[in-house]
Amino acid sequence: MVKTLKTATQINQKRTKALLLTMLSAVLAVSIGLFAAHSVSGTTIAPGDLQSWNPNVSCHATLATVHQVIGNHFNSSTQGALESGGPFGVLNGTDESSLRPPCMAPNVNGTINPTFVEIHGISLTGNSIVEDGALGGKCGARYTPTNGGGPYPGGQTFCNAYGVFQDTSAYTGNCETLQDPNPKICIRLEIDRDWMASGYCGAGTVCNNSTLDALNPTQKIDVQGFVTWHPPSSSGHGYSSWELHPLSAWRISNGSTPDLSIAASPSSLSLQQGSSSTSLVTIQSTGGFSGTVTLAAGASPAIANTTTASLNPTTVILTQGSSATSTMTVQTSPSTPTGSYNLNIKATSGNIVRILTIHLVVTAPPPDFTLSANPTSMTVRIGSSGMAAITLHSLYNFVGTVNLAASVAPADTTASLSLVDPTASFNPASVDLTSNGTGTSTMSVSSSLLTTPGTYTVTITANSGTISHSTTVTVTISLL
């Protein structure tokens, strides 16, 4: 039997092949593990058991990371996450504004999975801000059709608030640029305007859009919201088409420096001279702050003597992650100069001092006038007459002619039996007012012998163009 001896080269080639096969097997094993963790290959996710922070959401949240929500499929050119990677249920375009989003929905693979997630420790992507929806045109004065399509309360306009956030433990690049070649572990958070109009979000809630607007990339937050997908062509997504929309709640993550944030809604006021308005001030605990916060408000020196700004209450107590509200009432006087001014709200707790500036615009009311009568009640004997002085005063530079008229009506059962009601006339019946001037007329109330004794109400009306005012005089007709 002849044995063929293998050369050293043949032996080395065999060992090299074996080593390559071993390495390839390891790589495949890792790839399969990643795919299983971040694909939508029909994997069913159990519903979460975390209580919603927003009392208007009945779903329970599933704890997840940004990476687990968006999956591990990325666009080869932008490195933005693809829809095919997301395992969670995804709201459709109608449900993302719904006030009652479904807790379960199909993902891109058709598997029914939870839509409501909770993510911890994410922050704004570098050099980014939370944008008011007005920048992207996502404002409106009516509910979306899925919520009935009716007008917002009081005819108000609300805007979505949104920003691109990332988990810096998984990705430290900028989600809104193409400079970083690594997969972008990013997600967009969006507070929906319908939720703000309904009071589900906004000042004093767990999804305060004003305090979200004030975040910076150094602050980490925890969030709850519903998973949504938008096509890559959608603006404002920073190369990540995944969203939590609606974002139902957020809070500052533990581990940050204890601090306060302060916001007001509305953040600007427009008042006429001699009028008042309110703004709801929200004080939010951040970074684990807890304690008593003292509040104060004041107007700029230019109007400090004619305008007051007061807060109720002036002291609030915060626990970690909580918020509290105070109502600021601003009162101008008729002598407050017209123009633009600042109001300052100061929140103080120990060494922490935070100041919020509110913009105030004071305008002059439209021209007007006042109407009064003296006396406002009189007694007239049957068959005779009585008189009252009518005074008109111009306000806010009103100039014009005011026409006077009167109507008389019985005010008690006896008077209602009268054959002839008293009559009222004016001398003069028209009064010309100059700017901020005063004019008078005399009203005569006459009764006849056919007027039944009793009580009558004289309604005096003063008209000038579209301006109309009225007042009343009570007249008692007596026998003696």
- Segment-wise mean pLDDT, segments of 10 residues, the chain, 480 residues: 39 45 39 39 77 92 89 74 83 89 92 93 81 71 94 92 85 75 84 95 90 86 92 61 92 74 90 95 84 94 95 93 93 94 92 86 94 98 97 95 97 93 97 96 96 97 97 95
Helix (DSSP H) and strand (DSSP E) numbers for the chain: 4, 29
Q: How far apart are CA 109 and CA 106, in angstroms?
A: 7
How far, in Å, are 271, 277, 341, 362 from residue 332 at the CA level? 7, 9, 12, 8
3-state DSSP call for residue 476?
Answer: strand
pLDDT, position 25: 43
Q: How far apart are CA 125 and CA 416, in angstroms?
A: 78
Q: How far apart are CA 479 and CA 123, in angstroms?
A: 86
pLDDT, position 233: 55
| Residue 4 CB neighbours (<10 A) | 5
Closest-CA residue to 320 (of 291, 357, 358): 291
Q: How far apart are CA 153 and CA 453, in angstroms?
A: 51
Q: Which domains does the chain show, CATH number per domain?
A: 62-252 (2.40.50.140), 259-363 (2.60.40.10), 368-478 (2.60.40.10)
Q: How far apart are CA 75 and CA 155, in angstroms?
A: 43
| Residue 399 CB neighbours (<10 A) | 14
pLDDT, position 256: 56
3-state DSSP call for residue 387?
Answer: strand
Q: How far apart are CA 23 and CA 21, in angstroms?
A: 5
pLDDT, position 135: 59
**How deeply is 209 buried, as exposed, middle or buried, from its count of CB atoms within 10 A (0-12, 13-18, 19+)?**
buried
pLDDT, position 234: 57
Cβ contacts of 115 within 8 Å, gap of 6 or more: 59, 88, 89, 90, 91, 101, 102, 103, 104, 105, 226, 227
Q: pTM of the full predicted structure? A: 0.49
H/E element holding 362?
strand 352-363
